[in-house]
Amino acid sequence: MYDAVIIGAGITGCAVARFLSGYEGRFCVMERSEDVCTGTSKANSAIIHAGFDAEHGSLMARYNLKGCRMYPKLAEELGFDYRNNGSLVLALSEEDIPKLEALKENGIKNGVEGLEIVDRARLKELEPSIGHIPVAALYAPTAGIVCPFGATIAFAENAYTNGVEFRFDTEVKGLTPREDEKGEKYWVVQTAQGSVRTRAVINAAGVYADILHNMVSGRKIHITPRRGDYILLDRRTGGYVKHTVFQVPGKFGKGVLVSPTVHGNTIVGPTAEDIEDREGVDTTSEGFADLMEKAGFAFDDLPLREAITSFAGLRAHEDRHDFILGEVEDAPGFFDCAGIESPGLSAAPAIGEEIAGEVAKKLSLAVNPSFNGKREGFFDPKKEMIKDPDALSRMIQEKPEYGRIVCRCEQISEGEIRDAIRRPLGAKSLDGVKRRVRAGMGRCQSGFCSPKIMDILAEELGVDVADITKSGGGSKVIVGFVKDRIG
């Protein structure tokens, strides 16, 4: 019998798991995919909102602000990339300035600190590359950017090392309330791999959260998958944009953001299109045309020719446009983390901490005296060289694999790739390696390095190279006649 089962290993589910591991109990995360961070959490803007946009009094506003404040300390404790770069919301005409004033007023009500409306001259000082159209901006110095892969993996690893179990390739098929001979209530969680019993269920299933909720509650909710297209620019554009730059909705329509990433790229997006397919992450030429046009309102010469990839992500838009959190009234022991769309990434740590606390209170769980809230991040030779120019030379002498570069674009060594596989909850696929150490994330998009990474994966996992997948399931890279030809 588990004390709690968390359904979904995105950033919300993994944050809940990390904070829940601070209590004594038996906990499990169930994920339908082969790894953490494979759904909404892997394809988003990677920004930490300051909190001025969410409606005052909403759960979005409350958890956004708290989560934003938690990120700097968590990044230090758990060893993931985060940067406080601030954000700007552009007024593209004089008619837009009252909208900035309204955003500022709402942000102050929400508790956001340091908000300031800046004129054109100050805007150019803050963002020298800004185009000729913007006339003013709302400046939010507390906003930031993060690596969503790194943060999710950090929460998951820390939860795992504190005793949380993870079951991958485990899709939940049903949920049934039960009662034992002593009158104690529990849940039976049915999966494709069998059933388990648990005292509590935490629903963090992203775009599928309404399906699970509606299995157990008479008060139905409805989530619409909202697709957003993005364009990622090469690291050669690093420094072109300093802040996360939004556009206030106005006569040009609802704008898109342009932002640096913590790894030195530039990201442009997203579009917003409601769809029915909960796996519909295909990209569209219309979406990219829309992105390029709207980005041009903010910047005159944004280097879009430096695009290295495009992708689409899904947001879990609930009809009431607010988070749905906490124990479901007519399903005791079932806790929702549903409708987690933007600012969900920003809010995830706060949601995780509070839901874990609610579950612990419900189950009367004691504090875990052996809980270790710190985690050592991935070894990065480039960062080590900044601190000590001779560090890498010493490391290579001791471990030559750190001197053999596999991914040329991102300068990722064989040693780093092996680390990604050997870590707690280590990589089992090409995308798993990419999310952990960025091998294959650069300009050639793994065109050069994937065969070597596959060889390393096969060796480390003890499988045939033909069994290596791009992202688990049936996504084998070598299939059919190709496997026969290589013998």
Catalytic residues: 49
Q: How far apart are CA 454 and CA 274, in angstroms?
A: 36
Q: Which two tokens stand for residue 213?
A: 């909720």
Q: How far apart are CA 469 and CA 430, in angstroms?
A: 7
Q: Which two tokens stand for residue 280?
A: 């519909």
Q: How do strand 136-140 and strand 87-91 relate by DSSP bridges? A: antiparallel
Q: How far is CA 396 from CA 52, 379, 407, in A?
A: 47, 13, 17
Q: Residues with Cβ < 8 Å from 375, sequence gap 6 or more?
A: 77, 78, 79, 154, 157, 158, 161
* Dihedral in degrees, nearest 10, Cα atoms 321, 43, 103, 110: 70
Q: Residues with Cβ < 8 Å from 386, sequence gap 6 or more?
A: none
Burial class (CB in 10 A: 0-12, 13-18, 19+), 450: buried
- Please answer whether residues 37 and 149 qualify as being in contact, where contact means their C-beta atoms are separated by less than 8 angstroms: yes
Q: Residues with Cβ < 8 Å from 388, sequence gap 6 or more?
A: none
Q: Which two tokens stand for residue 327?
A: 């124990």
Which residue carries 């600012």 as its tokens? 343
Torsions phi, psi of 196, nearest 5? -130, 160
DSSP code of 253?
Answer: B
